[in-house]
Structure 1
Amino acid sequence: MQVTAAVSRGPDSPFTLEKVELDEPRADEVLVRVVATGLCHTDLFTKAALPRALGAAVLGHEGAGIVVDVGSRVSGVVPGDHVILSYRHCGDCDQCRSAGPAYCVDAHRLNSSGRRADGSATVTQNGEPVRAAFFGQSSFAEHVLATADNVVVVDRSVDLAAAAPLGCGFQTGAGAVLNVLRPGSDSSVVVFGAGSVGFAALLAARSVGVATLLAVDPVPARRALAEEFGAVAIDPGSQDVVAAIRAATGGGATHTLDTTGIPAVIGQALSCLRARGSAVVVGLGAPEVTVNIQDLMLNGKTLRGCVEGDSSVQQFIPQLLALHADGKFPYDRLVTEYRFDDINRAVADQAAGTVIKPVLVW
């Protein structure tokens, strides 16, 4: 079927809305009409990393929409269902079987290869394959093909535009707190980078009654919103970040989360921890970071990575929706909606820090 998609043709080119051909759903696939898709840093990181020589690509991995059709082997999803789309996993490897689907051994092939697992294309243009199937969806398009493992059925009362980022960004930040750091009410949680992932982490920490919340970000508007949510806001441009955190937490934080991927910031996230504190990194950035091993070892600190909030989406996304319904996780306050033909303005606004979470709506 012919659909409109926001196509990337190289790291330096803007997205362009173009007609492409979406394959018919196979027996294990789900056809979804996209209502909204979140714009995530991972989309832009991937766009920047794909050489122009690889040709056209359709990205997008925070889709939400309505099921149009399902293949004969699909169960638990029917036409008319409202759904949130997330990452793919095989369901059979040791990681998937041990409740670690975000670390599926087949994750790259299923989420980042640009094609189906068998190598076939889901999207073509003028008879030529288009790099797609991103996170098993490529939801910068009017319609997408997904599979039962990355489709989460939600109540029809859910605002799909506001909830779309639960597929990645919001679940990453919230999951890093709720599934990995697991702070108690007497904990102190510091988030480095108050973007959509960082704010989701702050809201998640607040939802479990964390006593002391801190947000480090250079953008005044983001610091102001963090303060509205009950956090101490720190300006890295004018304050000694580590000293300010130690002063606000009585000697050091119990938990920190880096969303920036910046080596110097990760160093701060470790340095400001008190003894036996834990730091988690979720941001894509420089591949190498220098760590003070003496500080890490002698103080019993922990540093670990986290993908997709260590979440199993069929359980965790409904958990976040329940927190939202109870008023404990107001993710809708982070969202700014854009029409899909304004995708490049959304990219620019996100880069400028004038919005927290752009969501593209058809």
Structure 2
Amino acid sequence: MKITTAIAKSQGKPLSIEKAELDNPKQNEVLVKVVASGICHTDAAGRDLGMTPYPVALGHEGAGIVEQVGDGVSTVKPGDHVVLSFSYCGHCENCLTGHPANCFHLNELNFGGHNFDGTHRIHDASGNNISTFFGQSSFSTYSVVDENSVTKVSNAVDISLLGPLGCGFQTGAGTVLNYLKPEFGSSIIIFGTGAVGLSALMAAKIVGLDNIIAVDIHENRLKLAKILGATKTINSQQEDINEVISKLTPNGIDYSIDTTGVPSVIKEAVSVLKPSGTCALLGIAGDVTFNIQQDIMGESKHVVGVIEGDAIPQLFIPKLIKYYQKGMFPFDKLISFYNFEDINQAFSDSASGSVIKPIVKLSE
């Protein structure tokens, strides 16, 4: 079938909205009419870093309505509202033990550019293959995805809001609720108050932590962090983080989260921990230099990377929606909507920090 999709043709260039051809779903696949798709930092990385072979149809926070299912699909049917999330094999040790975000084949399935069987579903007008992103390429009017990537959701909630639950919101909230599992009354500091950081912050409020500290350089984001549950906000360009922390919790912080990927910020996120504290790294980062004895081992600190909030999307996303319906996870406060033709402006606004979570509407 003919679709319209946003394609990154070469490294660092703006996306091009073009017509393309989408194959029908195979036995284990689902055809989804994409209503809206969130823009995440990983999409910008896919555009700029060449992590998936060009040309690549981007988008990985899709939400929409099932149009058709393959003969082997049993979890959804036409007409169901669904959120699309990351690809995983479902068969490796980590998938079978409830950690699909640590799938042995995660990088291949999400960034290799092809579907599970190694073939492509999207083609240009000349029949040339276009790479798929995160197994969904949701900046498209329609998408074919493996059944593992589909989570059925309630149709009582506006489907256009829900796409970021498949990645950014899931990553932040899941890191707190699924991975760190902080004790009631403990402390957490979150570096970076974008969509991932604020999702982690809202999850920390659900748990009931005594100190929920948000760090950023954008005052508009820190103001929102306060509204969403931060007990203390720090503008790192105006205040000394260690000085503020020493007054709040003299022994240090129980948990820290870095969403920035900035090496100096990562080191700060580790340094503010109390002995035996845990730092979760969520941002795309490069080299960071530590003195292992002084910075980590000497105080039994834990530094861990967490992918997709260690979530099982089919279980976790519906839970987040229930929290939203109860007013406990108000992620709609983070969202700004854009028309499909304005997708490059949405990327630009996200990069500047003027919006937190842009969502592109592809259909009504």
Report if TM-score (shorter chain) is over 0.5: yes
Q: Which stretch of the first structure deviates more once superposed, 199-208 or 244-253?
A: 244-253
Deviation at 1:201, TM superposition (A): 0.2
- Name stretches of at least 5 consecutive residues in structure 1 with no aligned partner: none
Distance change in 2, residues 1:51/1:298 (3 Å): closer
Mean CA deviation greater in 317-326 or 213-222:
317-326
Structure 1 Cα separation of the partners of residues 46 and 142 of structure 2: 21
Shift in CA distance, 174/56, structure 1 to aligned 2, threshold 3 Å = same
**Which residue number in structure 2 is paired with residue 318 of structure 1?**
318
Q: Structure 1 residue 210 and structure 2 residue 209: aligned?
A: yes
Distance 1:164 1:51, change over 3 A: closer
| Alpha-carbon offset, residue 51 of structure 1 | 8.4
- Would you say the 8 A contact 2:36–2:63 is kept in 1? yes
Q: What CA deviation, in whole Å up to 9, does each residue of 1:41-91 have, x standing for no partner?
A: 001012111289x54210111000000000111111100000000011111
Query: More displaced, 186-195 or 128-137?
Result: 128-137
Q: Distance in 1 between matches of 2:75 and 2:92?
A: 22
**The 10-residue stretch of structure 1 (38-47 or 154-163) with the greater mean CA deviation from structure 2:** 154-163
Match of 1:238 in 2: 238
Using structure 2 for the length normalisation, give the TM-score: 0.96
Equivalent residues of 1:14, 1:344 under 8 A apart: yes
CA apart distance, 1:339: 0.8
Supply the distance in 1 between the matched residues of 2:313 and 2:54 (Cα, whole angstroms). Answer: 31
Alignment of 1:1-362 (within 5 A): 1-50=1-50, 54-231=53-230, 232-286=232-286, 288-294=287-293, 295-362=295-362
Structure 1 residue 252 displacement after superposition: 1.3
Structure 2: 5+ residue stretches without partners: none
Give, as a single letter, the amino acid of the residue that structure 1 aligns with 2:205.
R
Letter aligned with residue 12 of structure 1: G
TM, length-normalised to structure 1: 0.96
Report the residue type matching 2:313 in the other structure. Answer: V
Per mean C-alpha deviation after superposition, the further-off stretch among 338-347 and 180-189 is 180-189
RMSD value, Cα? 1.4
Identical positions, percent: 43
Contact 2:188 2:253 in 1 (8 A): yes
Question: In 1, Cα distance between the equivalents of 2:128 and 2:74?
Answer: 29
What secondary structure, in the 3-state scheme, does the structure 2 residue paired with 1:210 have? coil
Residues 100 and 163 of structure 1: CA distance in aligned 2, closer, same or farther (over 3 Å): same
Deviates more, 1:95-104 or 1:222-231: 222-231
Task: Deviation per CA, 1:186-209: give whole Å up to 9, x if none.
Answer: 111110010000000000000111
Matching residue's letter, 2:117: D
